[in-house]
Amino acid sequence: MKRWTLLLLGFITSTGMLYAQQLTIQAPNRKITVALYSKQTADGSEWYINAVYNTNGKSSVVIPHIGLGLVRNDQDFSKHLKLLKTGMPLLINEKYTALHGKKSVCTNQATEVAAAFENPAKEKLNVIIRVYNDGIAFRYEFPEKKGTFTVKDELTTYSIPSATKRWMEKWNTANEGFYTAMKDDKVLKQEWCYPALFQPEDKSCWFLLHEADVDRNYCGSKLSNTADSSGYKITFPDLQDGKGIGAAAPVITLPWKSPWRVIMMGDLPDIVESTLVDDVSSPSVIQNTGWIKPGLASWNYWSNNHGTQDYKIVNHFTDLAAEMNWPYTLFDWEWDAMGNGGNLEDAVKYALSKGVKPLMWYNSGGPHTDVSATPRDRMLTHESRVAEFAKLKQLGVAGVKIDFFESEKQDMIKYYLDILEDAARAEMMVYFHGCIVPRGWARTYPNLMTYEAVRGAEWYNNSPELTPVAPEHNTVLPFTRNVVGAMDYTPVTFTNSQFPHITSYGHELALSVLFESGIQHMADRPEGYQDLPGAAQSFLKTVPAAWDDTKLLDGYPGQDVIIARRKADTWYIGGISAGQWAKKKTIRFNFLKENTKYKLTLIADGIHDKALTTQYNVIDKSSILEVKLLRSGGFAATIVPVLQ
């Protein structure tokens, strides 16, 4: 039998309970091992898996216990399950292309084994386990061909030792909170958003918990340790979410597979560079994708909250996009009240005359939100969407931003996916705002360009709390939220909105690289970019919104981060610091090609936080560069091959 799969019949007795290890599955590169156990208790048998990380000849139990099980309205699939058989191991070896994201060509390898169970009523449940080179994914399956049931509870629970450090965001329907770092007696008991980052005590590896490939046959979930601080249980949406509209428990139709429960695992570069959430999600259903174009957009809301009411302001931001070579400008809320010299149709015509494609905001509408901003109901039904998308297509609008979803119940999951399908048929790009964290849908529907689901720069409008914590917050996001999919933070602001920011100009410039988004909405007013030095302006005129490769060069959550991203032969680097003092960071260029010279343009903090310096160097793979960062500082760089 292959070395990466082993059937064991060993038994361990501990504290009155009998444990039997039934199966081990190993990743193709042998770094990650998952074992399946049964546990005999007074209440009957229970099943769980654990995860072991192997590196440099050392094995470490990273997650000691992941409880398994489901409860349907008609049957219990948690206790007294009998293992019928384990399938033959299947080697997954996949390669696919992505139109936007951290990599254009994605590859993954995994070993998959399906374990077949039955409960005392002879009803069947399969658990499908995949062990990837960079993580673990597992899902449940009811293989019967017919039947409709309610899943009353999912018992998947990750037991995490208290000494494991964790970065987690308190649950909120918009996914717009801050991450809290915790361990030991500081671990809070509450409900938590995805994704969640963990660093085990022995520091041999990290892992990030998430879910992927959520479809109409389930709901979105979250993590809860309210019952036990060390046990993070998958939990369904709260009944009151979305103003109480929709059921909290999902209704499923057989045959059925759950979303994938995803654990990215490895060192920090493995986490940041992973595409595992997309890897396990359904392939694209869109055949012709030539109309899907990632890019940067100008955006007036940050500096002019009611700017889209004013035709002249709208055109001012169109001119900014044209001047900066950005393909898009966003007409945010209140475009239907536009005046002062022109209306929506006039603004669209002006944008198109400048070679800029407009994007337009919509309220998701419906009884799930109290937000009355209009247009409110045009996205709510299939008929209204088809009609609206047809009008937008005729006008020349390239995409829509849809806001205020406020729930992850099954009915809202259906709504999200219905929007994406109708938009794809109309060749319309989509940006979700006030929304769910990515679940891999951008692979299935690559017209889904980005999501908000982050405490971003928009919050400089809302309250003073972002100002002091933004430097640290910004260094956590590349290791957490932005790992799992596109994130529209609305970054790169040099002037101030309602409340100031304390990040340096170098820090803000770096965010254009650090934060990945298929459409990157540049939030500052025109003069914020027009007053920049020439090198910084040139950088923002060329920085891409979709990448061929991504490398984490250095960093630690809450302290600093340096990421390099490649488009064709050009590398872009962004680095930021969260510290209260200036620091120096060393950049090594060992990710570059052998025997090739490159021109480095480095734009870094100057003598104060609103100053930038530019230097030029010729480097190669062996070069080392030291960069000085101010307090809450940063830098950006381009690396272009030298023609010989």
Residue 292 falls inside a structural domain = no
Helices and strands in the chain, H and E counts? 11, 40
216 and 108 fall within a common domain: yes
CATH assignment at residue 120: 2.70.98.10
- 260/344 same-domain check: no
Q: Are 195 and 487 in contact (CB under 8 A)?
A: no
Residue 621: CB atoms within 10 A of its CB come to 15
Does residue 267 share a domain with residue 229?
Answer: yes
**Same domain (yes/no): 342, 375:** yes
How many of the other CB atoms lie within 10 Å of CB of 545?
24
pLDDT for res 41: 72
Among residues 531, 566, 593, the one where a domain terminates is: 531
Whether residues 232 and 273 fall in one domain: yes
C-alpha closest to that of 192 among 236, 214, 219, 225: 225
- Both 331 and 222 in one domain: the answer is no
The CATH number assigned to the domain holding 366 equals 3.20.20.70
**Does residue 91 form part of some domain?**
yes
pLDDT at 39: 86
How many domains does the structure of the chain reveal? 2
Same domain, 9 and 82: yes
Residue at token pair 């962004």: 574
Domain boundary among 218, 248, 279: 279
Check whether residue 384 and residue 515 sit in a common domain.
Answer: yes
Predicted local confidence at residue 304, as pLDDT: 95
pLDDT score of 42: 65
Please say which residue of 531, 564, 587 terminates a domain: 531
Which residue in 196, 203, 160, 195 sits closest to 181, CA to CA?
Answer: 196
The answer as to whether 617 is a domain residue is: no
Give pLDDT, residue 22: 87
Give dist(CA 388, CA 413) in Å, integer.
Answer: 21
Same structural domain, 320 and 207: no
The amino acid present at 265, given as its one-letter code, is M
Q: What are phi and psi of 297, to 5 degrees?
A: -135, 145
Give me the residue label for tokens 């909170």.
177
Rounded Cα gap, residues 556 and 504, in angstroms: 19
Q: Which residues of the chain have a pLDDT value below 70?
A: 1-19, 42-44, 644
The torsion defined by the Cα of 627, 630, 634 and 635, in degrees rounded to 10, comes to: -40
Q: Measured between alpha carbons, how far is residue 218 from residues 152, 251, 410, 444, 469 in Å?
A: 12, 7, 6, 17, 36
| 242 and 331 inside one domain | no
Beta-carbon neighbour count of residue 421 at 10 Å?
17
Supply the pTM of this predicted model: 0.96
> Cβ distance 512 to 542 under 8 Å?
no
Q: Which contacts of 233-241 are long-range, i.e. CB under 8 A and separated by 24 or more positions?
A: 233/67, 233/155, 233/156, 233/157, 234/154, 234/155, 234/156, 234/157, 234/261, 235/154, 235/191, 236/153, 236/154, 237/407, 237/408, 237/409, 238/191, 241/173, 241/406, 241/407, 241/408, 241/409
As to burial, measured by CB atoms within 10 angstroms (0-12 exposed, 13-18 middle, 19+ buried), residue 624 is exposed
Shared-domain flag, residues 273 and 312: no
Q: Within this chain, do residues 332 and 403 fall inside the same structural domain, yes or no?
A: yes
Complete DSSP assignment for 397-461: --EEEEE-----SHHHHHHHHHHHHHHHHTT-EEEE-S-PPP-SHHHH-TTEEEE--S--GGGGT
Residue pointed to by tokens 């050392």: 58
Q: Is 147 helix (H, G, I), strand (E, B) or coil?
A: coil
Please, which residues have CB within 8 angstroms of residue 464's CB and are 6 or more apart in sequence?
499
Token pair listed for 114 = 């399906």
Domain that holds residue 410: 298-531
Whether residue 597 is contained in a domain is answered as no
pLDDT at 20: 76
d(CA 138, CA 262): 7
Task: Give, in order, the Cα–Cα distances in Å from 539 to each of 295, 324, 603, 618, 637.
Answer: 14, 10, 9, 18, 8
Identify whether the C-beta of residue 198 lies closer than 8 Å to the C-beta of residue 271: no
The three state secondary structure string of 109-136 is: EEEEEEEEEECCCCCEEEEEEEEECCEE
